[in-house]
């Protein structure tokens, strides 16, 4: 299933008479981690949700290689900034997703639990988990179905350095196993550590789309320069 | 005198007085029947309203919220006019029967359970809808998940309905008629026994109602903690 290139043409999104995304045009074949960055309110989370299909864009087209959008949708998952878990144990949360995705639960769930070191919290109700633990469970739920694409909306923004490092390692390892990652982040050090390419949005428009190292060294655009210097 | 009344009331309770048990048993049968019918209708319907947004949704919620505060005697009067001999449902011949009392209590608590279910499911949907959308689930699966996720809150809602139904007197008095050994329930018996000066049985029934109310409050508190 070749999802590349991702081709976005004239994409617009309006909410309550406000243009959130303005004429987004983009072609990318980057297979590892694409960072979507921008100041607050620039539209990065909205773009992520539109790519995932949980928000419908107002106009424009999105094409994933030659694959029909509804087929790609089945191969995607998303992790949110505030991890959303069901009011159940860690195990039951993972099993819930596995069943909805028609996955043979026993082996796959055990594998994910080991992969993400969730053994110690497997029988704990989600409401008693720490922020980092919740985020790990949310990632486990998102990867149980072996998705081709994962969207991560600031997955480490509320985590301490230890959990941040652990989650980054998980994300990097997923990208190395041919999972395409789209991730929003404000953390320049993190973007530099794990990002391969970056899409930078300002007020709903793409003002930069290239390699992360070029973004870090960008001198011409004052918005990007400020973002990099203060990020 | 007061201590004598209390003593006699406790005596009736602890000796398992036949009349007292009969009244309690009918009360519980009527209330539980109304509750079961009501939750079968109201919980799926209240949850359904969260999902299927259309022009009728807000009107239904408005009507349901309005009916929550409807005086039971008015409801009793409406049911009376409908099921009395000259009413359009007179052919059912259910006036002054436990069936009419079940109908009255069901209609009394259904708007309450619908409104409270809607609120709980609405809140939960706001909390987890991104996850459910992300999993690309059908509305039916989402609905089932949301009802399950609200399970503790919905037990509280159910207990609230039970409390409201078991404490009701006006409507069941009108449509049940408070007939001895047939439609006499705790609340109507308390009203009747007090009016004829047989205060001991009324106090005994009152104590049991207070005990049920306490039990419901404790259950609601423990389910709120679970939630």
Q: Break chain A into its structural domains and give their ranges.
A: 6-230
- Does the N-terminal peptide bond of residue B196 adopt cis geometry, omega within 30 degrees of 0? no
The DSSP-derived string for B86-125 is TSTTGGG--TTSHHHHHHHHHHHHHHHHHHHHHHHHHHHH
Cβ-based contacts under 8 A for chains A and B: 29
B141 and chain A in contact, CB less than 8 A: yes
Select the more confidently predicted residue: B3 or A200: A200
Q: Which residues of B touch A52 (CB under 8 A)?
A: 134
A151, closest residue in chain B (CA to CA): B134
Quick check: B131 and A73 CB within 8 A?
no
CB-neighbour burial class of residue A82 (10 A; exposed 0-12, middle 13-18, buried 19+): middle
Residue A28: left (phi > 0), alpha (psi -120 to 50), or beta?
beta
Whole-number average pLDDT of chain B: 93
Q: How confident is the model at residue B213 (pLDDT cuts 50, 70, 90)?
A: confident
Q: How confident is the model at residue A185 (pLDDT cuts 50, 70, 90)?
A: very high
pLDDT of residue B58: 87
CATH topology of domain B2-226: MetI-like fold (1.10.3720)
Distance CA B208, CA B192 (A): 16
ipTM of the complex in this document:
0.91
Select from 3.40.50.300, 3.40.120.10, 3.50.50.60, 1.10.10.10 the CATH code of A6-230. 3.40.50.300
Cα diameter, chain A: 54
Neighbours of B195 (CB within 10 A): 9
Q: Which residues of A touch B131 (CB under 8 A)?
A: 80, 84-86
Alpha carbon distance, N-terminus to C-terminus of chain B:
46
Distance CA A128, CA A199 (A): 36
pLDDT of residue B226: 73
Quick check: A54 and B133 CB within 8 A?
yes
Closest CA to A157 of A47, A44, A56: A44
Q: How confident is the model at residue B50 (pLDDT cuts 50, 70, 90)?
A: very high
Q: Which residues of B touch A96 (CB under 8 A)?
A: 145
Q: How confident is the model at residue A124 (pLDDT cuts 50, 70, 90)?
A: very high
Q: How confident is the model at residue B225 (pLDDT cuts 50, 70, 90)?
A: confident
Cβ atoms of B108 and B168 within 8 Å: the answer is yes
| The token pair that represents B23 in the structure block | 């009244």
pLDDT of residue A219: 87
pLDDT average, residue stretch A195-218: 96
Closest CA to A97 of A50, A147, A55: A147
Examine the pLDDT at B2 and tell me if it is beyond 90: no
Q: How confident is the model at residue B227 (pLDDT cuts 50, 70, 90)?
A: low
Q: How confident is the model at residue B106 (pLDDT cuts 50, 70, 90)?
A: very high
Q: What is the percentage of chain A residues whose pLDDT exceeds 90?
A: 87
Nearest to A54 among B128, B130, B141 (CB): B130
- The model carries a pTM of 0.88
Whole-number average pLDDT of chain A: 94
Residues of A in CB contact (< 8 Å) with B are 52-54, 73-74, 77-78, 80, 84-87, 96-97, 100-101
Run of H or E including B4: helix B2-14
pLDDT of residue A70: 83
Q: Which residues of A touch B145 (CB under 8 A)?
A: 86, 96
Q: How far is CA B32 from the centre of its chain?
A: 8
Examine the pLDDT at A156 and tell me if it is beyond 80: yes
What backbone phi and psi angles, to 5 degrees, belong to A111? -65, -45
Cβ atoms of A64 and A28 within 8 Å: the answer is no
């Amino acid at each position: 299933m070749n999802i590349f290139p991702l081709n976005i043409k004239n994409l617009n999104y309006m909410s309550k008479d406000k243009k959130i995304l303005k004429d987004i045009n983009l072609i990318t074949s980057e297979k590892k981690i694409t960072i979507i960055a921008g100041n607050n309110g620039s539209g990065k989370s909205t773009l992520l949700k539109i790519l995932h299909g949980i928000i419908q864009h107002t106009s424009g087209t999105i094409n994933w290689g030659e694959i029909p959008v509804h087929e790609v949708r089945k191969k995607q998952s998303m992790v949110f900034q505030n991890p959303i878990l069901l009011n159940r144990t860690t195990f039951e949360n993972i099993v819930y997703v596995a069943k909805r995705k028609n996955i043979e639960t026993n082996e796959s769930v055990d594998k994910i639990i080991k992969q993400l070191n969730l053994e110690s919290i497997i029988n704990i109700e989600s409401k008693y988990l720490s922020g980092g633990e919740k985020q790990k469970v949310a990632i486990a739920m998102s990867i149980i179905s072996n998705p081709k694409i994962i969207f991560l909306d600031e997955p480490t923004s509320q985590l301490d350095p230890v959990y941040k490092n652990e989650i980054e390692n998980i994300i990097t390892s997923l990208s190395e196993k041919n999972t395409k990652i789209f991730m929003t982040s404000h953390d320049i050090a993190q973007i530099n550590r794990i990002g391969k390419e970056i899409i930078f949005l300002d007020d709903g428009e793409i003002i930069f789309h290239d390699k992360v190292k070029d973004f870090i060294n960008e001198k011409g655009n004052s918005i990007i320069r400020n973002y990099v210097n203060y990020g | 005198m007061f201590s004598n009344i209390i003593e006699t009331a406790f005596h009736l309770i602890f000796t398992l007085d036949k009349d007292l048990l009969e009244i309690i048993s009918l009360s519980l049968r009527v209330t539980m029947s109304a509750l079961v019918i009501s939750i079968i209708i109201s919980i799926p319907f209240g949850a359904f309203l969260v999902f299927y947004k259309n022009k009728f949704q807000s009107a239904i919620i408005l009507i349901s919220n309005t009916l929550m505060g409807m005086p039971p005697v008015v409801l009793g009067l409406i049911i009376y006019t409908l099921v009395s001999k000259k009413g359009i449902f007179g052919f059912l011949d259910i006036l002054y029967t436990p069936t009419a009392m079940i109908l009255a209590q069901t209609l009394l608590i259904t708007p309450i359970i619908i409104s409270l279910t809607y609120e709980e499911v609405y809140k939960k949907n706001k909390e987890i809808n991104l996850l459910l959308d992300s999993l690309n689930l059908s509305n039916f699966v989402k609905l089932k998940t949301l009802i399950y996720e609200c399970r503790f809150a919905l037990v509280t809602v159910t207990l609230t309905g039970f409390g409201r139904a078991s404490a009701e007197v006006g409507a069941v008095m009108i449509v049940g008629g408070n007939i001895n050994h047939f439609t006499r329930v705790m609340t109507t018996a308390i009203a009747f026994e007090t009016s004829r000066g047989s205060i001991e049985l009324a106090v005994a029934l009152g104590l049991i109602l207070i005990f049920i109310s306490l039990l419901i409050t404790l259950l609601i508190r423990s389910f709120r903690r679970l939630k």
